[in-house]
Structure 1
Amino acid sequence: MTKKHSIIAAAIVTLALIVAISYWQLRQFADSPLAIGQETLFTLPAGTGRVALEAKLEQDNIIKPAIWFGALLKMEPELAKFKAGTYRLEKGMTVRQMLALLASGKEAQFPLRFVEGTRLQEWLAALRAAPYIKHTLTDDQFTTLAQALKLEKTDQLEGWFYPDTYLYTANTTDVALLKRAQQKMATLVDDIWQSKAADLPYKTPNELVTMASIIEKETAVNDERSKVASVFINRLRLGMRLQTDPTVIYGMGEKYNGNLTRKDLETPSEYNTYIISGLPPGPIAMPGKASLDAAAHPLKTNYLYFVADGKGGHTFTTNLASHNRAVQAYRQVLKEKNEQ
């Protein structure tokens, strides 16, 4: 072999060695863990290119500065198809796994829990406090929300959002989340209304939802819901007033301070069922499915009264004398608890 050929061969070997080392280093970079010690949310703005992405990742201390980022995207072009959004980066995730996630478009999802028995005002407050929500409602007035949801009347709001845990991605609007809950409730109520028991004293689905909301506020015990429904249905059929405290409390609004007095029960309001006959004008909270089912399929009983038993449930009775004894028993339980 001539000297010239030897030099060329050495150069080829050297070049091959450099390529091999570079490829190995590139693979090492791709498989290296991110520079994060805990779960991290990373937001990739729309229109971000390769150079800007690398700069942002370094600026946010997600990857360490290296010369291999651009080369990796060129060698594996499927990783370069990243999409804007907010992503959840896990501890131990590699650079390649992160880029694959950004290319997948599988954004981080955030849970928002709307609880049974809470009011629309509480839902709106929860929305305002939730992270990564895009707020479009100018205020919490029912008229504003009705317009945003394109509803004709504000009486289609309270009680008409299904309580559940909703998952959303960053920049989901408050109205979009409420619309999901409202549509889910409307569909459920329609199904339940179509299959409800015969001869119930409801003229409209809104009356059924109103009854369900009262049941929701009166008991959290699933086995009792249909019994509570039977009490109120029996009272409606006999022309007796419902006399349920939660309706009075709802009608008091911000005046309610946690204590319900006799004066409160005697103060007129359109929701005070100690004074008005029949159902109040609308729901007083967001009922869950169990309460809606109970309102549509009440147990057939002769119960006209119920009172807390001091043990987490209620005592149901058919006449005033028995009810008064149950009330005394409840007061005795409370007295004994206070003396302990």
Structure 2
Amino acid sequence: MSGIIDPNHKPRPWREFGARTKSALAVLLSLAILVGGGWFVWDKTSGLIGELQLAPDFEGPGKVEVVVTVPRGAGVTEIGDLLVEENVVRSTAAFLNAVKDHPEAVNIQAGTYRMKTELPASEALEILLDPEAMLRNFVLIPEGLRVSQQFQLISERTEIPVADLEAAAKDKAALGLPDYAPNVEGFLFPNTYEIPEETTAADLLKQMVTQYNDVAAATSLEARADSLGVSPLELLTIASIVEREVNRAEDRPKVARVIFNRLSRDMPLQMDSTVHYAVNDYENTTTTDEQRANKSPYNTYVHKGLPPGPISAPGRSSIEAATSPEAGDWLFFVTVNLDTGETRFADTVEEHNANVALFQQWCQANPGKGC
């Protein structure tokens, strides 16, 4: 995101775009909010073209709960872009329109807010202006953790004992787990959660399961599983592998396709992420021969098919990738640069070996980086 906005910056001059257009097109003036002190200044002129009132906007009501963090120093255009990225508002222009018409926009503060996807821009702005919507005490649970890691993180940041979390996790009915969930592994959705002082282990875990259920419904997980010929648990397991294997959004649907392609050909998945789960060792990205020989049912080098259940808690992007894998004939993939996350996909062993050679070259040039 961009840095602090210069309060002395002047708007760009009006411009004309084409003499033959039926109506004049103008550069729209954008307000900029210096968030953190509750005061705002003019931002640089927006490059949006057309009538602001015609900006695409959601009709509402909102759908899935999300948590959005507005950074200190963000301008109003940057905030609009952030809300679009999180699918809270449909367009930055709609958010600018809402800000333009709201005299209280000066009161937006930096912070973390509980919102929903697909909100009208005016409602999204109202949430940003509502002090009750800002999360004061919260814990951020990142994607890709196994349950034991989630519990450890929660305990460190909330002082809820791990033993209490483990005990609460055993009451599937109280937590609202779906019928296809054998336990909480993979079903405690990664997100930011508010932690009031009176929050219990059961309260927090129920929030996390509820969030999973909302995302599963929004992505039609059960219906998509049926159309893809797998069970809902298997589809979530695929999403959990995708989450651990790659970190770029554009690669996730391709990894999901690789998994489906290998399953359809009765090939072992041979995913290092499942080995990491089996041996509970996440120190390196790669695995050793000894680790790949582990007989755990979660080891997809030793056992064909999917592991018995999720190996991590996947985020929405990985769940969407599993429910809508990209079309392709890929059978192999390898991340060739652990810094950038660049991942190469291949149809044949020969292509894959060439990609593996690139990864090995990167590892030799970058010792000590997890190879």
- Aligned equivalents of 2:173 and 2:226: distance in 1? 35
Instruction: Work out whether 1:169 is the aligned partner of 2:169.
Output: no
Q: How far off is 1:264 after superposition?
A: 1.2
Match 1:200 to one of 223, 228, 232? 228
- Aligned equivalents of 1:321 and 1:106: distance in 2? 54
What's the secondary structure of 1:155's corresponding residue?
coil
Match 1:323 to one of 345, 352, 369? 352
AA aligned to 1:331 is Q
- Between the two proteins, the alignment pairs up a number of residues equal to 233
Q: How does 1:26-45 map to 2 (within 5 A)?
A: none
- Higher mean C-alpha deviation, range 107-116 or range 244-253: 107-116
- Aligned equivalents of 1:300 and 1:225: distance in 2? 12
Cα deviation, 1:282-318, whole Å, max 9, x if unaligned, reads 0000000000000000001010000111242111000
Kindly indicate whether the alpha-carbon contact (under 8 Å) linking 1:138 and 1:144 is maintained by their aligned counterparts in 2: no
- Aligned equivalents of 1:221 and 1:125: distance in 2? 26
What RMSD, in angstroms, separates the aligned Cα atoms of the two structures? 3.0
AA aligned to 1:243 is Q
- Aligned equivalents of 1:136 and 1:327: distance in 2? 40
| TM-score, reference length from structure 2 | 0.56
Instruction: Work out whether 1:244 is the aligned partner of 2:271.
Output: yes
Match 1:226 to one of 253, 256, 271? 253
- Aligned equivalents of 1:159 and 1:241: distance in 2? 22
1:168/1:145 CA distance change after superposition, 3 Å: same
- Aligned equivalents of 2:134 and 2:247: distance in 1? 36
AA aligned to 1:314 is T
Q: How far off is 1:333 after superposition?
A: 2.4
Kindly indicate whether the alpha-carbon contact (under 8 Å) linking 1:215 and 1:229 is maintained by their aligned counterparts in 2: yes
1:293/1:261 CA distance change after superposition, 3 Å: same
Q: How far off is 1:272 after superposition?
A: 0.5
Q: How does 1:54-203 map to 2 (within 5 A)?
A: 109-131=136-158, 138=164, 140=166, 144=170, 146=172, 149=175, 155-191=182-218, 192-194=220-222, 196=224, 199-202=227-230
Equivalent position of 2:47 in the other structure: none
Instruction: Work out whether 1:212 is the aligned partner of 2:239.
Output: yes
- Aligned equivalents of 1:276 and 1:136: distance in 2? 32
* Larger RCO (alpha carbons 8 Å, 6+ apart): 1
- Aligned equivalents of 1:211 and 1:106: distance in 2? 34
Kindly indicate whether the alpha-carbon contact (under 8 Å) linking 1:108 and 1:169 is maintained by their aligned counterparts in 2: no
- Aligned equivalents of 2:203 and 2:346: distance in 1? 45
What's the secondary structure of 1:186's corresponding residue?
helix
Q: How far off is 1:184 after superposition?
A: 1.5
Equivalent position of 2:317 in the other structure: 290
What's the secondary structure of 2:345's corresponding residue?
strand
What's the secondary structure of 2:182's corresponding residue?
helix
1:319/1:142 CA distance change after superposition, 3 Å: farther
Q: How far off is 1:194 after superposition?
A: 4.7
Q: How far off is 1:144 after superposition?
A: 3.7
1:105/1:256 CA distance change after superposition, 3 Å: closer
- Aligned equivalents of 2:167 and 2:200: distance in 1? 17
Q: How far off is 1:266 after superposition?
A: 1.5
Cα deviation, 1:191-213, whole Å, max 9, x if unaligned, reads 422552874241x2111110000
| TM-score, reference length from structure 1 | 0.61
1:165/1:269 CA distance change after superposition, 3 Å: same
1:136/1:107 CA distance change after superposition, 3 Å: farther
Kindly indicate whether the alpha-carbon contact (under 8 Å) linking 1:216 and 1:288 is maintained by their aligned counterparts in 2: yes
1:165/1:107 CA distance change after superposition, 3 Å: closer
Cα deviation, 1:47-100, whole Å, max 9, x if unaligned, reads xxxxxxxxxxxxxxxxxxxxxxxxxxxxxxxxxxxxxxxxxxxxxxxxxxxxxx
- Aligned equivalents of 1:108 and 1:319: distance in 2? 49
What's the secondary structure of 1:172's corresponding residue?
coil
Equivalent position of 1:308 in the other structure: 335
Q: Which runs of 5+ in 2 are unaligned?
A: 1-130
1:109/1:225 CA distance change after superposition, 3 Å: same
1:184/1:265 CA distance change after superposition, 3 Å: same
Kindly indicate whether the alpha-carbon contact (under 8 Å) linking 2:151 and 2:162 is maintained by their aligned counterparts in 1: no
Q: How far off is 1:177 after superposition?
A: 1.1
- Higher mean C-alpha deviation, range 273-282 or range 137-146: 137-146
Q: How far off is 1:167 after superposition?
A: 1.4
Larger Rg: 1
